[in-house]
Structure 1
Amino acid sequence: MSTNPVLSLSGVSIGFPTASSSGRRSAELTDVVHDVDLDVFPGETVAIVGESGSGKSTTVHAALGLLPGDGQVTGGTITFDGRDITRLTEREFTEVRGSGIGLVPQDPMTNLNPVWTIGDQIKEALRANNIAAGSEAHTKAIELLEQAGLPKAKSRIDQYPHQFSGGMRQRALIAMGLAAKPQLLIADEPTSALDVTVAKKILDHLQSLTKQLGTAVVLITHDLGLAAERADRLVVMQAGRVVETGPALEVLRNPEHHYTKQLIAAAPSLAARRGDRVVAAPTTNDEDQKAILVAKNLVRDFDIPGDKPWRKDTFRAVDDISFTLRAGRTIGIVGESGSGKSTVANMALGLLDPTEGEVLFDGQRVQGRNRRDELALRRRIQPIFQNPYATLDPMRTVHSSIEEPLRIHKIGGKKERDERVRELLDRVALPVEMGRRFPGELSGGQRQRVAIARALALNPEVVVCDEAVSALDVVVQAQVLELLAELQEEMDLAYLFITHDLAVVRQVADEVIVMEHGKMVEHRPTDELFDHPEQEYTQRLLDAIPGASLQL
């Protein structure tokens, strides 16, 4: 390893203008990142961890010249490859990006142009960095996609982002980030939306590619298991400051700062190894609890284009799934992307009709209800979906979004509804004044808490959580899981918990269904399944939990 860092931050502070009470932006800057020192050496992987708002992304985006809005470096210096880049112009930063510093951003759907093919976007990156053009760029783009682990890259290069799965889109972003063979790659939560097996494949590919190229990596993540497994050094940030740094395993095994200890205590990927549970194993016989949601032999087929324009083929997304969800209990459904988890959730919610089988809620069929009965059902079963950026109306305030189901169901007058919204905001640990904000002014974690508050507004009996905590950092995630557990105990709520994160499932579920290619391959009590998996597929999922193989 070179004795000279490829990237060096010395005493870096970053500020943003603040808004006055009248809404006008002040010319003065308020620092949100304070006095950060950070060195990254060639070939080294450094993980930066911390909860949302800790300054992780802001710090590294300053090195790319990509601070949002009017953000500025207010103190210190940023040096890349021996050159001071603290205050480069946009044109000068353009020369640094690509061949100097590459970026793999967090959300592939918002970072890929929906009207350009995947191939065109990679070829644009190649042209912008003067690497290749024309037919040579086309050939190089296929090669990059193959290196990033995309199957059938030659036939898929002309497809659009919506035709790719989340894992495939992430591979395309990795291909673009590595297109110019950068000296430094910044990977900002590159696998947070992916299931564990796909994430492992992508991280394995990324690790092998960066080692071949000698690329240094800065990995921004809220997953401490991933940081422990993939990083050489760990940097812990809190409230814009570095509070602890050192060799990754050493910091995680022997944390010194109280905040690092708090992160480790909250991390489900590490808790899964300790056997900690948010929800205690049932102490009463399941038969004593009311069967509130029953799925009987569910099958769901979808029509897909065949090999000829006039032909249609049938894809079976769910194949003979049955379960009984009882009051006060949680069933976890796990499996890789495409295993049928979300299709089961949508049938349970009455948003999709089964091709065969039926869903019963309190003994009555979910499907085929008249409008009045369907509205009554909506009051008793509520969803919390994965993407907090897509589930809230950007034109409504937080208060209006939470109040909406109360208005639709004609519950209370304006005063009573306002009081209920304040109560719900408090329950999900958000200040009352947050109600005046719009979703665009909130972090991902804050948005998801608003979505949870809205789901709880009608005091439902069943909540279907479809990847409801996958977008949250470990501290907020732990708070939300504790909140869901408290509400379950107080209100005898039943949860259908769909997730790709087995570490979370171990914390919250009483029993687990494992799905593969639409079929149920295991359905057992949680601790039994984790301690003694019967199927090779289940063992593969467990082995892919970040940090699972490490003794922490």
Structure 2
Amino acid sequence: MSSWEGSPLAPLLDIEDLRTEIKLRRGVVHAIDGVSLQVNPGECLGIVGESGSGKTMTALSIMRLLPSGGAVVGGRIVVDGTDIAALPESAMEDVRGNLIGMIFQDPLTSLNPTMSIGDQIAESVRLHRGASKREALVRAVEVLGLVGMPKPAERVTNYPHQLSGGMRQRVMIAMALACEPKLLIADEPTTALDVTIQKQILELIDSLRQRLGMAVILVTHDLGVIAGRADRVAVMYAGRIVETAPTEALFKNPRMPYTEALFEALPEKSAVDATTVKRLYNIPGQPPDLTVPPPGCKFAPRCRYARDECRAKEPALQAETTAHLFRCFFPVGTPDEVRDPTTPFVSVPEERPEIPVTPAAALAAEGRTGNGHAADWQSGDPLADAPTATVPVSGAAAADRLAAEEELAEDSPVKAGQDGSLLTVSRLVKNFTVTAGAVLQRKVGQVSAVADVSFAIPAGATFGLVGESGCGKTTVGRLIVGLEKPDGGSIVIGGRDLASLSSRERRRQARLVQLMFQDSYASMDPRMRVSTILREPMIIQRDGSRAAQTKRVNTMLDEVGLPAAAAERYPHEFSGGQRQRLGLARALMLRPSMIVADEPVSALDVSIQAQILNLMLDLQRDYGLTYLFISHDLSVVRYMSNTIGVMYLGKLVEVGPALDVYNSPIHPYTRGLIDTVPVADPKLERAKEHQGVQGELPSAVAPPSGCRFRTRCPRAQDLCAAEEPPLRQFTGEGHRAACHFPLREPEPDLN
């Protein structure tokens, strides 16, 4: 814990009954409704909640950087003894960047693309400290070095587009720290970053807080991030704080049903035992419309415990202890004054069915493929009626995970080319040419994006592909769907090698495999209505009449849980989770056998993530779909996948049954990734502070000799530099790894 605890010093930030409104044509949004909180010097306060809960709006209210029509209409915001809510705008310009610094959520859109990063950092120093241009640039180099930017004196001349996502985030932190503010607000500082970069950024913020004595407000939807970094937590819903407590107390014993529901939506909380997982809890409904807030408790319409009293009047923020406050008439958990503090909190939700872990095996157990409609799904009949997503989750198909994995072992994805595999990738290679010169474009090197990768996926199963940004996993997905052409190897789907087909022939095979893009919003034309976006694949393939296509659009919207009226709206009119549902619907329009899902939940909050993952599993069960699920989050991949493949710098370094890879990794890189993923347990998260993958990812233009991971591996020896390790088998279940000095040795009969 930080040095603030128990200190008699006055809080650095004291917010009392803050009310923020945004005036729209259709009404007034009550974005913040009576928020009160304090942040002490040196303390880290975590603010969590779903999108639209008021987290970011609270941060923007403190900075007085509200959107058009927004204004603080009540309450006090006292920072270092000054009520900044009452300051004129000219005075606030001295506060921003000087007294309060802020790290914005999207560094690429927050940075000026026309200015070098050195000039952007120096601008704040010149404005607030009156430094000369030369002095300000010296300070820019200094703070870039402080935040761990490699070769800061050279980087100051770079522009934002020349930097990676992690480097851009370091620039944002440097800008926020240039004038040494007393309070740092970090708004989703690691959203969509891979786990290793995320860990580096969080450790950087934490070390700077300790070194500079800053207070930090960490705004995030990731409960694992909060568990490892925050001293206290405030949970927000519908513009209000519904629970606040010290981090360990909140994670052990949440009292507000909303907080409990957020924990139950986490994939890592889904495991019942080593062989079984439960369906993720899906918080029903949507957050309320804050132009017309519902009466009573704002969470009551979505709360499984709600009673008439909850709908009639709003509960006050009550306290069983001075530190733990919550807003609920019928709290969950155990009262703090009678609870044994050594006993961890265990949620007891209503009974819910288990999810069959291996869809292909579960469907076979029921004697079908899909839900009885799979034949129509693959027939190409545009008038085939699709089922609704209301089929029970398991029933007779709910075999435990171990039995399901054993049944799938015969078709292990590492045994490429074996009967039963829908997709077989063999010795896949993809290099990208690096050129120099504005006119001649001469070749100066090549990026080894995918280097001799082989795997297979049985029909109806899910293969999870994980690794850091730049490891080649997205390139593999793009090669499979035909957006890139391989330089070597084969991609066999349904008996045909897609890598050898011409562009025209490849387009005809679009029914076989479709892509679910990482950024669903960027992948949709903002000028097209949803009906046109969804019809477009059928129009290109000349699939059915217009009436048949319209019927198909309405059916698929229903399948992904959106109303028929959504067909007439534009992409910007949907939330992030709804747009991801549209992305899934578009991928399904041609009834593919397989979907490549590229980071489908990386930027979603935990409740929307649970909805999308449950929906994907429902559709897989209904139609016998095969998934290639690409992600940097091993906890999500473990939940979704039958088999996991781990990539590093273009190489497949480990592959095997999902639980085996997650619980008993063989390759040091896999172990490092698992240790790097934040978990929603404060004790576990803080215990692994110095674990995980260390160092920077080498350049793919000149990858290290031998084992490509050796430059970051704690077990590396001379052999690793001299000889590339082969992908060898370690267990009879098809668990393979490419390592000279693995974490465990192969079974004797497998050598």
- Tell me the distance in 2 between the aligned counterparts of 1:400 and 1:235: 42
2:196 partner letter: T
Higher mean alpha-carbon deviation, 149-158 vs 431-440, is at 431-440
Residue number in structure 1 paired with 2:537: 405
- Tell me the distance in 1 between the aligned counterparts of 2:435 and 2:272: 44
- Tell me the distance in 2 between the aligned counterparts of 1:543 and 1:423: 42
1:249 partner letter: E
Instruction: Specify whether residues 239 and 153 from structure 1 end up closer, same or farther in structure 2 by C-alpha distance, changes over 3 A only.
Output: same
> Contact 1:223–1:267 (CA<8 Å) still a contact in 2?
no
- Tell me the distance in 1 between the aligned counterparts of 2:30 and 2:273: 38
Residue number in structure 2 paired with 1:15: 21
Instruction: Specify whether residues 48 and 75 from structure 1 end up closer, same or farther in structure 2 by C-alpha distance, changes over 3 A only.
Output: same
- Tell me the distance in 1 between the aligned counterparts of 2:64 and 2:564: 35
Instruction: Specify whether residues 64 and 353 from structure 1 end up closer, same or farther in structure 2 by C-alpha distance, changes over 3 A only.
Output: same
Matching of residue 291 in structure 1 with residue 421 in structure 2: yes
Matching of residue 149 in structure 1 with residue 148 in structure 2: yes
Residue number in structure 2 paired with 1:493: 625
CA offsets 1:289-313 (integer angstroms, 9 cap, x no match): 7322211101111222479985511
Instruction: Specify whether residues 274 and 181 from structure 1 end up closer, same or farther in structure 2 by C-alpha distance, changes over 3 A only.
Output: farther
> What SS does the corresponding residue of 2:110 show, helix, strand or coil?
coil
Matching of residue 340 in structure 1 with residue 472 in structure 2: yes
- Tell me the distance in 1 between the aligned counterparts of 2:597 and 2:159: 29
CA offsets 1:314-360 (integer angstroms, 9 cap, x no match): 22121110011121111111111111111111111111112221212
Instruction: Specify whether residues 269 and 86 from structure 1 end up closer, same or farther in structure 2 by C-alpha distance, changes over 3 A only.
Output: farther
Higher mean alpha-carbon deviation, 503-512 vs 433-442, is at 433-442
Higher mean alpha-carbon deviation, 499-508 vs 148-157, is at 148-157
CA offsets 1:103-151 (integer angstroms, 9 cap, x no match): 1111122122223222222222322333643222222212212211222
Residue number in structure 1 paired with 2:608: 476
- Tell me the distance in 2 between the aligned counterparts of 1:434 and 1:7: 43
Give 1:411 shift.
Answer: 3.4
Residue number in structure 2 paired with 1:304: 434
CA offsets 1:179-200 (integer angstroms, 9 cap, x no match): 1111111111111211111111
Residue number in structure 1 paired with 2:44: 45
2:256 partner letter: H
Matching of residue 4 in structure 1 with residue 136 in structure 2: no
Instruction: Specify whether residues 97 and 271 from structure 1 end up closer, same or farther in structure 2 by C-alpha distance, changes over 3 A only.
Output: farther
Q: 1:280 aligns with which of 357, 363, 373?
A: 357
CA offsets 1:133-171 (integer angstroms, 9 cap, x no match): 322222221221221122222222222222211111111
Residue number in structure 2 paired with 1:457: 589
> Contact 2:448–2:650 (CA<8 Å) still a contact in 1?
yes
> Contact 1:166–1:193 (CA<8 Å) still a contact in 2?
no
Give 1:370 shift.
Answer: 3.7
CA offsets 1:69-123 (integer angstroms, 9 cap, x no match): 2022233222222222225443332221101111111112212222322222222
Residue number in structure 2 paired with 1:188: 187
Residue number in structure 2 paired with 1:521: 653
- Tell me the distance in 1 between the aligned counterparts of 2:13 and 2:575: 28
> What SS does the corresponding residue of 2:192 show, helix, strand or coil?
coil
- Tell me the distance in 1 between the aligned counterparts of 2:232 and 2:265: 20
- Tell me the distance in 2 between the aligned counterparts of 1:493 and 1:431: 23
> Contact 2:577–2:612 (CA<8 Å) still a contact in 1?
no
> Contact 1:269–1:546 (CA<8 Å) still a contact in 2?
no
Give 1:448 shift.
Answer: 2.0
- Tell me the distance in 1 between the aligned counterparts of 2:241 and 2:273: 27
> What SS does the corresponding residue of 2:499 show, helix, strand or coil?
coil
Matches within 5 A, 1:283-432: 283=404, 284-285=407-408, 287=410, 290-305=420-435, 312-432=444-564
Give 1:402 shift.
Answer: 2.5
Give 4+ residue runs of structure 1 displaced > 6 Å after superposition: 272-275, 306-309
Give 1:239 shift.
Answer: 1.9
2:104 partner letter: P
- Tell me the distance in 2 between the aligned counterparts of 1:421 and 1:88: 53
Give 1:388 shift.
Answer: 3.0
Instruction: Specify whether residues 489 and 239 from structure 1 end up closer, same or farther in structure 2 by C-alpha distance, changes over 3 A only.
Output: same
- Tell me the distance in 1 between the aligned counterparts of 2:441 and 2:501: 36
Matches within 5 A, 1:236-251: 236-251=235-250
Higher mean alpha-carbon deviation, 309-318 vs 238-247, is at 309-318
Matches within 5 A, 1:119-134: 119-130=118-129, 132-134=131-133
Instruction: Specify whether residues 488 and 249 from structure 1 end up closer, same or farther in structure 2 by C-alpha distance, changes over 3 A only.
Output: same
- Tell me the distance in 2 between the aligned counterparts of 1:212 and 1:131: 25
> Contact 1:131–1:180 (CA<8 Å) still a contact in 2?
no
- Tell me the distance in 1 between the aligned counterparts of 2:165 and 2:145: 17
Residue number in structure 2 paired with 1:258: 257
Instruction: Specify whether residues 372 and 508 from structure 1 end up closer, same or farther in structure 2 by C-alpha distance, changes over 3 A only.
Output: same
2:218 partner letter: L
2:19 partner letter: S
> Contact 2:118–2:157 (CA<8 Å) still a contact in 1?
yes
CA offsets 1:181-233 (integer angstroms, 9 cap, x no match): 11111111111211111111111111111221111111111110111111011
Instruction: Specify whether residues 449 and 120 from structure 1 end up closer, same or farther in structure 2 by C-alpha distance, changes over 3 A only.
Output: farther
1:232 partner letter: D
Work out which structure has the larger RCO, using CA pairs closer than 8 Å and 6 or more positions apart in sequence: 1
> Contact 2:619–2:625 (CA<8 Å) still a contact in 1?
yes
- Tell me the distance in 1 between the aligned counterparts of 2:273 and 2:80: 42
Residue number in structure 1 paired with 2:283: none
Give 1:391 shift.
Answer: 1.4
TM-score normalized by the length of structure 1: 0.93
> What SS does the corresponding residue of 1:520 show, helix, strand or coil?
strand
Over the residues paired in the alignment, what is the CA RMSD in angstroms?
2.4
1:446 partner letter: Q
- Tell me the distance in 1 between the aligned counterparts of 2:547 and 2:73: 46
2:244 partner letter: T
- Tell me the distance in 1 between the aligned counterparts of 2:469 and 2:555: 36
- Tell me the distance in 2 between the aligned counterparts of 1:170 and 1:87: 32
> What SS does the corresponding residue of 1:141 show, helix, strand or coil?
helix
Give 1:36 shift.
Answer: 1.3
Instruction: Specify whether residues 400 and 79 from structure 1 end up closer, same or farther in structure 2 by C-alpha distance, changes over 3 A only.
Output: farther
| Percent pairwise identity | 44
Give 1:394 shift.
Answer: 1.7
Instruction: Specify whether residues 421 and 38 from structure 1 end up closer, same or farther in structure 2 by C-alpha distance, changes over 3 A only.
Output: farther
TM-score normalized by the length of structure 2: 0.69
2:490 partner letter: E
Give 1:260 shift.
Answer: 0.5
CA offsets 1:249-272 (integer angstroms, 9 cap, x no match): 211121111110110011235557
Higher mean alpha-carbon deviation, 500-509 vs 6-15, is at 6-15
Instruction: Specify whether residues 547 and 159 from structure 1 end up closer, same or farther in structure 2 by C-alpha distance, changes over 3 A only.
Output: same
> Contact 2:57–2:66 (CA<8 Å) still a contact in 1?
yes
Instruction: Specify whether residues 267 and 377 from structure 1 end up closer, same or farther in structure 2 by C-alpha distance, changes over 3 A only.
Output: same
Residue number in structure 2 paired with 1:81: 80
Instruction: Specify whether residues 366 and 310 from structure 1 end up closer, same or farther in structure 2 by C-alpha distance, changes over 3 A only.
Output: closer
Instruction: Specify whether residues 128 and 382 from structure 1 end up closer, same or farther in structure 2 by C-alpha distance, changes over 3 A only.
Output: farther
Instruction: Specify whether residues 544 and 486 from structure 1 end up closer, same or farther in structure 2 by C-alpha distance, changes over 3 A only.
Output: same
Give 1:389 shift.
Answer: 3.5
1:285 partner letter: L
Give 1:285 shift.
Answer: 3.3
Give 1:498 shift.
Answer: 1.0
2:166 partner letter: G
Instruction: Specify whether residues 164 and 182 from structure 1 end up closer, same or farther in structure 2 by C-alpha distance, changes over 3 A only.
Output: same
> What SS does the corresponding residue of 2:129 show, helix, strand or coil?
coil
Instruction: Specify whether residues 185 and 546 from structure 1 end up closer, same or farther in structure 2 by C-alpha distance, changes over 3 A only.
Output: same
- Tell me the distance in 1 between the aligned counterparts of 2:181 and 2:434: 40
